[in-house]
Amino acid sequence: MSDKIRAQHLARKAMLYVRQSSAYQVSHNLESQKLQYAMQDRLHQLGWNEIEVIDEDLGRSAAGTQTRTGFERMVAEVCLGHVGAVAAREVSRFARNSREWQQLVEVCRVVDTVLVDQETVYSPRQSNDRLLLGLKGSLNEYELDLLRQRSLEARREKAKRGSDSAAFAPSSLASNLLNLTTTTRVVVPINFWREECKMARRPVPIAGPMGAGWCRGS
């Protein structure tokens, strides 16, 4: 048990915040969900018996562009003095923008609530921990900006490769003709004939003795 956790913290409940950034992660990164929910065991080991799990923000980004009802409810509970600890497997789960991160840290400092991740217990009332939390928040925001920049550069390169390959692609007319001669069966009227996409008038059949006709190609 950490020396930063005192009786007044344990007398209040702990809140475990679980979040993933997109619906794809919620559906496919199931191991990440299990690890986040497993933080309840760590809170029990630290001495909390009452633990509330907040997971309504699954599938929502913490970049500050979406409303997160779970995060807002957690901050409100902290402001009311009902929470002794807020926990997440990584502190980046709380917020990836400075505004919400600093809001959470400041509220926890005022009401004396500790922050807990998989490795450390942070007390915002201690200057060293407050400095470390500030650095972590800045790094989380920087990491998100870096990921956005890389994604944008990848899209630009993909678009550039697409435009380069389009220069060597056959024209739409040539492509249509190619499809017409190779993949499309054209229904030709009985008095027409077809040769390499050209249609010419067929000579009128000449009736023979048995009534059969023949035609002469041009």
Query: In the chain, how many domains are there?
Result: 2
CATH number of the domain residue 81 falls in: 3.40.50.1390
Considering the domain architecture, whether residues 134 and 194 belong to the same structural domain is answered as: no
Say how many C-beta atoms besides its own lie within 10 A of residue 47's C-beta.
Answer: 16
Which H/E stretch holds residue 32? helix 30-37
Considering the domain architecture, whether residues 69 and 108 belong to the same structural domain is answered as: yes
Instruction: Tell me the whole-structure pTM to 2 decimals.
Output: 0.63
Q: Would you please indicate which residues are annotated as catalytic (active-site) residues? A: 21
For 72-107, the pLDDT digits (tens) are 999 999 999 999 999 999 888 898 788 888 999 999
Average pLDDT over residues 130-141: 82
Which of 95, 88, 96, 80 is closest to 122 using CA atoms?
Answer: 88
In residues, how long is the chain?
218
Residue 28 binned pLDDT confidence (cut-offs 50, 70, 90): confident
Considering the domain architecture, whether residues 140 and 195 belong to the same structural domain is answered as: no
Cβ atoms of residues 33 and 27 within 8 Å: no
Burial of 94 (0-12, 13-18, 19+ CB in 10 A): buried
Which H/E stretch holds residue 166? helix 127-167
Residue 193 binned pLDDT confidence (cut-offs 50, 70, 90): very low
Residue located via tokens 């550039």:
160
105 found inside a domain: yes
**What pLDDT, on the 0 to 100 scale, is given for residue 39?**
96
Considering the domain architecture, whether residues 188 and 107 belong to the same structural domain is answered as: no
